[in-house]
Structure 1
Amino acid sequence: MPSALPLADPAPADGLLPASAVLGADERTFGVYLHVPFCRVRCGYCDFNTYTSDEIRGVKQSDYAAQASLEIAAGAGILAESGLPRRPASTVFFGGGTPTLLPAGDLVRMLDAVRASFGIEPDAEVTTEANPDSVDAEYLAVLAAAGFTRVSFGMQSAVPHVLATLERTHDPARIPLVVGWARDAGLDVSLDLIYGTPGESLDDWRASLEHAIAQRPDHLSAYSLIVEDGTKLARQIKRGEVAEPDEDLQADMYELADRMLADAGYDWYEVSNWSRSVEHRSRHNLAYWRGGDWWGVGPGAHSHVGGVRWWNVKHPAAYADRVLAGVSPGAGRETLDAETRGVERVLLLARIREGIPVSSLHAPGRHAVAGLIADGLIDAKAALSGSVELTLTGRLLADGVVRRLLADD
């Protein structure tokens, strides 16, 4: 999760949720996100809450699975004591950091803790992120045997000089190997790509897309490089050591990705995500965009239940101290009012293919629809059927579309 935490009220030490979080819980999906905050190398563009040392102020990576399991057990108790019905997780997602920097047995231990405390639906989607150089065939087979269903490899690029700029450590030639091992284990495969890296040409990006498509993954994500304040990359750009990403080139890259992926049989279902079928869409991420409930485990992890959002202390040492003491690791919390929830609903639903029901918009937003159709930003046929769905141009200008849908007049 991003390293910057918002300002809000302190989270209560007991973690209990207000009665408002219970309302409508039976109608909402429930998932679990497990943040593993360790990386072998910190990439220059990354602002996630990650740490590179094997031992951080007395916190050992080998202790982490036990600490996370304590939070999982406590979380199930907090939900029950707050009056929430027991809902088995329909999705579980291990993110980071690099989850697969831990031994496979540690990830299995955490998954077993989710199963014991929250429960997991029989057809649940269980995903881990992985670096291509952090797993082998045996590792992936262990995960699959334990109930993992999906692996998301951080491929990022197939071009060595682009990977070097991003400070990624794997060899592009390893991608076919890890995809093959995942397939042999029975896991679905997603590949994550980044475009717009300083020095990356359109031809470089085309080569990465070709390499990714050749692996026939079930799912692909393609994210434009965003320069986050405080990162090494931001400092390099400020000093003039590397060029700032070119937004026009990034737009060309997005259009190329959409065209090549469509030609290869992939459909977009969220601005940055494509899949081979509806069944291969990321159910966990869709739950985020649709406003579902999830419990976030680990340092800096965010959670959301029934309009209540909270986040954990960031540092692994502070996190360990709290969970070992039986105290909620929550650092801050906010209860969203109806207006804020409405705004966020538009922000999130606008990104997915199904879009936003026109009827759910306030009057100025409904009045903006005609102009957005005229500007080629939303699909006219879908709008006539009652849904605001982005066109390709609209996806490129999604933030602007949202601003017009939320305008007051």
Structure 2
Amino acid sequence: MPSTLPDGEPVPADGALPGRALDGLGTRPFAFYVHVPFCVTRCGYCDFNTYTATELGPGASRDSYADTAVQEVRMARRVLGDAVLPVETVFVGGGTPTLLPAEDLGRVLDAIDAEFGLAPGAEVTTEANPESVDERYVSRLREVGFTRISYGMQSAREHVLAVLERAHTPGRVPQVVDWTRRAGFEHINLDLIYGTPGETDDDWRASMEAALSAEPDHVSAYALIVEEGTRLAAQVRRGELTPPDDDAMADRYLIADELLTAHGLHWYEISNWAAAPGTACRHNLLYWTGADWWGVGPGAHSHVGGTRWWNVKHPAAYAARLAERTSPAHAREILDDDDRRVERIMLELRLAQGCPTGLLDDKAARKAIDDGLLEPAPYEQGRAVLTLRGRLLADAVVRDLV
């Protein structure tokens, strides 16, 4: 089942933010994340806040979800007041957003535009499972205003997909990418996972090559994490599956970086490669660079001016609060200056542009350079940038630098 929400301080019933959070509102980029918490089945490795039809219970449904999400968009406008906040990016994630009719997703997008206004050239992304769309559906997504689709490919090997409990067949991805391109989408991402029990280097290489043959302009490659409470974790605990091996994970990452770079996609964040600067995921870049965003939906997280909050998890509880014109937020935290410094290091160091050296302990940073974890030349120019080896050990590098 999905992980529990963190503790935090209470949120006012009307969702009001501290005055400090509103200082400078409108001078920072602003975005929306919309969480769609529905799936047909739960994949064995998944720890996201998602619900199948049998798990929903009374008080929530797919049919009414768009209306509920629109209510939160309107609440966001009330909370944020009259500040001019053109929305630079919208990202619809899940779950499986494309289980909702494209028209429902379009209505949520229209509400965001009506309340805040979409910035010229706004990036509007939805995630999709390859098996959840057909050619007509993809065309409708383009018609209602989406500019980018991210497909959960995960692997091109049937036995790897079976371990992950993914429903699509390997041949489905090239087909949906072709439909997507025909519908007029210029920006397509493929998500892959490496380190699945039973996967070999050859399996991973084949998956990468299959992804690249579809000619996406963006690829995300993530190491499998065995999350407690998932079916995968139970299988590993019982000895039915072998847990991912750190050395094998590193090898898979190197394979990915080699193949993607050779194909003209370059890393701009540890787990993300893009064909050109203009094809990087602008929404995720806003997360990594400390922008403001409002998260709509059960369990969605938001951040405005150093205040972070997260919504109640269950769709029924979420809908009930909004029906009462009460904030759906479960709790929040207000970051102090040191919290924000540490967070900047954690997030910005993941980027190819790195983070400002002034955030770091200079002695620790120079040791990281000596150890081959940070690039020396950018450091002397004021930026701390990970080497390839540093990317493999990023979590440990961050711990030493903060």
Same fold, TM-score > 0.5, yes or no: yes
Instruction: Answer whether contact 2:21 2:307 (CA < 8 A) is retained.
Output: yes
Counterpart contact for 1:163–1:169, Cα < 8 Å = yes
The equivalent residue for 1:110 is 108
Q: Which moved more, 1:19-28 or 1:289-298?
A: 19-28
What is the aligned counterpart of 2:88 among 90, 99, 110? 90
How big is the shift at 1:327? Answer: 0.7
Q: Does 1:326 align with 2:322?
A: no
Q: Does the residue aligned with 2:98 lie in a helix, a strand or coil?
A: helix
Residue 140 (structure 1) aligned with residue 138 (structure 2): yes
User: Which residue in 2 is equivalent to 1:72?
Assistant: 73
Name 2:99's counterpart in structure 1. 101
Q: CA deviation at 1:24?
A: 2.4
Kindly indicate whether residue 26 of structure 2 is the aligned counterpart of residue 35 of structure 1: no
For the pair 1:224 / 2:223, whether they are aligned, the reply is yes
- Corresponding residue for 2:372? 376
Q: Secondary structure at the match of 1:47?
A: coil
CA shift, 1:55, in A, is 7.4
Alignment match, 2:341: 342
In the other structure, the counterpart of 1:264 is: 263
Do the aligned partners of 1:311 and 1:333 also contact (CA within 8 Å) in 2? Answer: yes
1:19-57 deviations in Å (ceiling 9; x for gaps): 101222233110000000000110111111000117722
Per-residue CA distance 1:218-246 (angstroms, 9 max, x = gap)? 10000000011111111111111111111
Measure the CA separation in 2 of the matches of 1:171 and 1:262.
27
TM value normalised by structure 2: 0.97
Q: CA RMSD in A?
A: 1.1
| Match in the other structure for 2:303 | 304
- After superposition, the C-alpha distances for 1:350-379 in whole angstroms (9 at most, x for unaligned) are 101110111233xxx112222111111111
Asked if 1:26 is matched to 2:18, the reply is: no
Q: Give the letter aligned to residue 154 of structure 1.
A: G
Contact 1:89 1:119 in 2 (8 A): yes
Distance change (3 Å), C-alpha of 1:102 and 1:55 = farther
Selected match of 1:153 from 134, 151, 154: 151
- Structure 1 contact 31–92 (Cα < 8 Å) conserved: yes
Give the equivalent residue in structure 1 for 2:190.
191
Aligned-partner SS, 1:331: strand
Alpha-carbon distance in 1 for matches of 2:362, 2:28:
26
Give the corresponding residue for 2:7. 7
Matched residue SS, 1:212: helix
Q: Percent identity?
A: 56
SS state at 2:106 partner: helix
Once residues 234 and 55 of structure 1 are traced to their aligned partners in structure 2, the CA distance between those partners, rounded to angstroms, is 20
Q: Distance in 1 between matches of 2:125 and 2:382?
A: 34
Cα pair 1:205 1:253 within 8 Å, conserved = yes
Aligned residue identity for 1:404: D
The separation in 2 between residues aligned to 1:340 and 1:164, in whole angstroms, is: 41
Distance (Å, rounded) in 2 between the aligned partners of 1:30 and 1:91: 8
**1:249 and 2:245 equivalent?**
no
Contact 1:54 1:61 in 2 (8 A): no
Contact 1:196 1:225 survives alignment (8 Å)? yes
With 238-247 and 50-59 compared, the bigger mean Cα shift is at 50-59
| CA pair 117-123 structure 1, distance change in 2 beyond 3 A | same
Match in the other structure for 2:390: 394
Say which SS state the counterpart of residue 132 (structure 2) adopts: coil
Tell me which stretches of 4 or more aligned residues in structure 1 moved more than 6 Å: none
Equivalent residue number for residue 171 of structure 1: 169
Shift of 1:285: 0.4
TM-score, structure 1 normalization:
0.96
Structure 2 contact 103–144 (Cα < 8 Å) conserved: no
- Distance of 1:149 and 1:40 partners within structure 2: 25
Q: Which amino acid aligns with 2:394?
A: A
The structural deviation recorded for 1:11 is: 1.4
Instruction: Give, as a single letter, the amino acid of the residue that structure 1 aligns with 2:29.
Output: T
2:181 maps to a residue whose letter is: R
Unaligned stretches of 5+ in structure 1? none
Which residue identity is paired with 1:17?
L
The corresponding residue for 2:49 is: 49
Asked if 2 retains the 8 angstrom alpha-carbon contact of 1:55 and 1:61, the reply is: no
Map Cα deviations across residues 317-363 of structure 1 (whole Å, 9 max, x no partner). 101101111111011011111111111111111101110111233xx
